[in-house]
Amino acid sequence: MVDNWSKISYNIVLFDEIDIMDDNHEYPIEDLILAVAVYHRLQTTDLELEIGQIHPRDLGPKNLCSYLLANDRRINFPEISILEEDHLLKDKILKWSKRLIFKALDEKATGFQQACFELASKSKATIKNVGVLKFFPKMAIEQENKTRLLSDLASCDSEPVGVVGEQLSLKVKVISKKWIDKLETWSYNAITEDNKLVCWMGKDRFNYGEVREITAKVKGYQQNYHNKSLLETRLNYVR
């Protein structure tokens, strides 16, 4: 049985009264968002599978929501726990989604955006709405990361690091990381000890907020994508 059911609005004794085939049954929006938060975590989490069991990431989030909210056991998932980090992500999503309500009158909004605005204003929704809700975790995290990045960039000095071709040893703090699918590589921004901005791409993984000693060669200089008035130094051969 799933852990922490007490934090789900539905009481487990009521599950038998829910028709698991009824896609029109309404659940509290907080419960659906918690379920998609769990699904988001499981995208990068390996689970121990017994013979015949299926990892939730191999199916759509709708199946996991039915498993968590309606006690649907038609699909043989392994035991899935709801963790504290899932509740924290749920709270982050709810806080972010409330801001969407104020954008509902935007005439330039796409159909998908309008669907997001509408869900953000609801107190209940159905399993059918998971097709839109499944994007909420990523969008909330990206918005938080962007806000944090802009704050970090505002403190940087717009000055170059070294000269082109120079080999450098630097101590840097990573302030952004993004996976580039087309290039199959990571893109990083970091701040040096003397508060200058550098960027690079590479296969090696650095974590947000991590302070590292690196060696690199200066490749060139460019405007920062998010702050055009800020100069950043492009590095390569980063180790």
Q: Write the pLDDT tens digit of every residue in 145-204.
A: 889 999 999 999 999 999 999 999 999 999 999 888 899 999 999 999 999 999 999 988
Please tell me whether residues 30 and 92 are part of one structural domain. Answer: yes
3-state helix, strand, coil in the chain (%, to 5): 40, 25, 40
Whole-angstrom distance, CA of residue 108 vs CA of residue 110: 6
Q: Residue 6's pLDDT is what?
A: 37
Q: Residue 56's pLDDT is what?
A: 93
Q: Residue 20's pLDDT is what?
A: 55
Query: Would residue 151 count as lying in a domain?
Result: no
Q: Residue 9's pLDDT is what?
A: 40
Q: Residue 80's pLDDT is what?
A: 92
CA angle 185, 188, 193 (to 5 degrees): 150
Q: Residue 205's pLDDT is what?
A: 85
Query: Would residue 18 count as lying in a domain?
Result: yes
Q: Residue 7's pLDDT is what?
A: 40
Query: Would residue 152 count as lying in a domain?
Result: no
Q: How many domains does the chain have?
A: 2
User: pLDDT under 50 in the chain at which residues?
Assistant: 1-18
**Residues 6 or more apart from 34 whose CB is under 8 A from it?**
7, 8, 68, 82, 86, 87, 90
Query: Would residue 101 count as lying in a domain?
Result: yes
Domain closes at, from 143, 166, 186 = 143
Please tell me whether residues 132 and 191 are part of one structural domain. Answer: no
Q: What angle in degrees, to the nearest 10, is found between the helix axes of 84-100 and 136-154?
A: 80
Q: Residue 19's pLDDT is what?
A: 54
Q: Residue 24's pLDDT is what?
A: 86
pTM of the model: 0.76
Q: Residue 16's pLDDT is what?
A: 42
With left for phi above 0 and alpha for psi between -120 and 50, is residue 206 left, alpha or beta? beta
Whole-angstrom distance, CA of residue 60 vs CA of residue 160: 47
